[in-house]
Amino acid sequence: MGAKKEETGEKKGSFWKELPLLIVIALVLAFVIKTWVVQPFYIPSGSMEDTLQINDRVLVNKLVYQVRDIERGDIVVFNGTGTWDEPGVEAPESGNAVNRLFTWVGQQLGVQPTGKDYIKRVIGVGGDTVECCDAEGRVLVNGEPLDEPYLYPGSQDTHTEFGPVEVPEGRLWLMGDHRQISYDSRLHQNDPGEGTIAEDEVVGRAFVLMWPVDRMRTLPIPETFDSLNEGGGGGEAAGSPDGGGAAGPVAAAAVPAAPLLLGAAAAVPVRRAGRSLWRRRPGSGKSHAGDSGE
């Protein structure tokens, strides 16, 4: 009886000793997931209203464009350094090292703007001709007018003529959903790229609005782009985490803390695998029998 109590006490003590290491492993794995898989981003301006509002947080899928092309209607985060210089979204600078650290952490968690990443909707891809406007004030892509119910109210009435613009291959024509205030491709035509952004500058696709909770939902491609994208379904299956459909709110609720949750879930298996490899190392003096105690 005493031996069992002693063994139980040793197991509890071992757990508390390993807890800090498990936390470190979880944080490292979460950082890896955030860097290459999914990352939260903060919305600093009203250029995507009403779809996205100031202080919203979105999750960005960084892997989706490894398996499919960027499509019209996607909401993308991209790096505008050297091409766009959008006013009003710069991250605050600080000479204090501690403040800089907290700013960096906030940017990684998606609670502060980065000052170099922007978010817009893809209107045209390489080879498209984009122009404005038809008799109803709509934007045209390859001669096809876009019905855009997602626009900020009254946006269509504020459209001014531009184009036709031929989008070069490998580049994108991007516009915000609040057309009157969005500093987008239309206003960057005198900048390098003539208003377009290279596909290589795209960080990923915003697929979930995760904050505030009362507006949590997925961000599917609007139906107006179906015929242009030739898929008839906006590029994703309905109900998928990266698409839309009835399962959208459920998927949105499941992924806000995805990097940290996945990192935590993987921490224990990674630790166990490491211990197992260490015990098998020649000269370790450990036998496989000890594994059953974990």
- Tell me the catalytic residues: 47, 120
Q: Residue 164's CB: how many other CB atoms inside 10 A?
A: 12
Cα–chain-centroid distance for residue 118? 11
Nearest 5°: the CA angle 191, 196, 199 is 130
Nearest 5°: the CA angle 38, 68, 168 is 110
CB burial of 207-218 (b: ≥16 within 10 Å; e: otherwise) equals bbbbbeeeebeb
Cα–chain-centroid distance for residue 111? 13
Return all residues near 12 (Cβ < 8 A) that are at least 6 apart. none
Bond from prior residue into 226 cis (ω within 30 degrees of 0)? no
